[in-house]
Amino acid sequence: VVLSTSVGVFSSTHSCWWRRRKGASFHVSAISYKKFIGFALNEAKRQTHLVPSPLQFNSMISVDGKAELQMLSFQAPKIRLLRSMSIETEVMQVLDFAVFPEPEFDVPIFCANCFSTSSTNIVVLDLNPLHDVIGRRDYKDRYYKSLMPLGLKYVELLPWGGKLTSESLKFFSPIVLWTRFSPSQDRFDILYSAFMDYYKAWFELIKQAVGETDASQIMSNREAQHRYLTWRAEKDPGHRMLTKLIGERSSKELLRNFLFNGINELGSRTFLDYFPEYCCEDGTINEKRSIIGKSFENRPWDKRGEFIG
């Protein structure tokens, strides 16, 4: 039994991609992140007044003609940018969904990144903290204390994905879901449920947030968001795949002007200003993703959300 696909012209006629797990068939093309995006847009419309963003990024077809990249972007009161990119090919499905608050708010950034093939799913789902949650307890308590029960529920269901780029850790919160799993309908359903719950939790935070009026606080939020964008536009793990699909120029353009939009507006510091340890002797940026190396074999937060890495 091959489940019907929802990827239209990109669906496969080969049967070698489906696998048997616990006696049930699971076809890789049964995975589609379309329902995640559908939910997210409906929920946002229920919660706020979404208007199209002025960013003009429409769908693209990859250089080899085999992948479709779909971009959507909106803004709303308190929300600088809500954007989605999804990629579907015969052999992989990708979702990169993020919501960035206006700099008057120090609310975390909603971040959902999912990469799926016939053999694996790689997922990061989090409300990425804008400020340091290890050093600033007030910030951590304000946003994450009440979310720990939600986080713990999914931490049990979607186990830690193992070692990762050490530098990424400071962009993650105590409720981050970093996980890898082989294709299964059960896990995919849990992931969808986690996505909905984290997204609703994020909207609760932004709904309750009161805009900052102090200029230096706003500046500090703006800089924190700029640093985050600068990191991801340079070192996000999806770069290589994007470059393979659409070429170096288009990929750079997509990263800087769409996915991590704000880099040119929210600040003027460079990647090496923020992350000088990546500076090579000739002044260029080290191409390595990590200087420290990979670490954190196990989840580096305890059940109370204390960092134990």
* Per-residue binder mask for ligand BLA (CB under 6 A), 171-190, x = binder: x-------------------
Residue 78 CB, shortest distance to ligand BLA, in Å, is: 22
Q: Which of 137, 139, 247, 126 lies closest to 194 in space, CA to CA? A: 126
| Residue placing its CB nearer to ligand BLA in the complex, 48 or 121 | 121
Q: Would you count residue 266 as binding ligand BLA (CB under 6 A)? A: no
Q: How many CB atoms lie within 10 A of CB 20?
A: 8
Q: Would you count residue 62 as binding ligand BLA (CB under 6 A)? A: no
What is the total count of residues that contact ligand BLA (CB under 6 A)? 20
| Residue placing its CB nearer to ligand BLA in the complex, 74 or 110 | 110
CA distance 230 to 273: 10
Judge whether 184 and 158 are in contact, CB under 8 Å: no
76, 111, 147, 224: residue in contact with ligand BLA (rule CB under 6 A):
111
Q: Would you count residue 115 as binding ligand BLA (CB under 6 A)? A: yes
Sign of CA dihedral 205, 212, 82, 28: negative
Judge whether 59 and 70 are in contact, CB under 8 Å: yes
Q: Would you count residue 106 as binding ligand BLA (CB under 6 A)? A: no
Q: Would you count residue 86 as binding ligand BLA (CB under 6 A)? A: no
Q: Would you count residue 99 as binding ligand BLA (CB under 6 A)? A: no
Q: Would you count residue 242 as binding ligand BLA (CB under 6 A)? A: yes
What is the DSSP-derived secondary structure letter of residue 289? S
Q: Which of 22, 81, 18, 24 lies closest to 51 in space, CA to CA? A: 81
What is the DSSP annotation of 150-180?
HHHHHHHHS-B---EEGGGGGG--TT-EEEE
Q: Which of 59, 57, 116 lies closest to 260 in space, CA to CA? A: 57
Residue 45 CB, shortest distance to ligand BLA, in Å, is: 25
| Residue placing its CB nearer to ligand BLA in the complex, 48 or 80 | 80
| Residue placing its CB nearer to ligand BLA in the complex, 3 or 237 | 237
Q: How many CB atoms lie within 10 A of CB 129?
A: 26
168, 173, 179, 225: residue in contact with ligand BLA (rule CB under 6 A):
168
Binding site for ligand BLA (CB under 6 A): 87, 94, 96, 111, 113, 115, 122, 124, 128, 164-165, 168, 171, 232, 237-238, 241-242, 289, 294
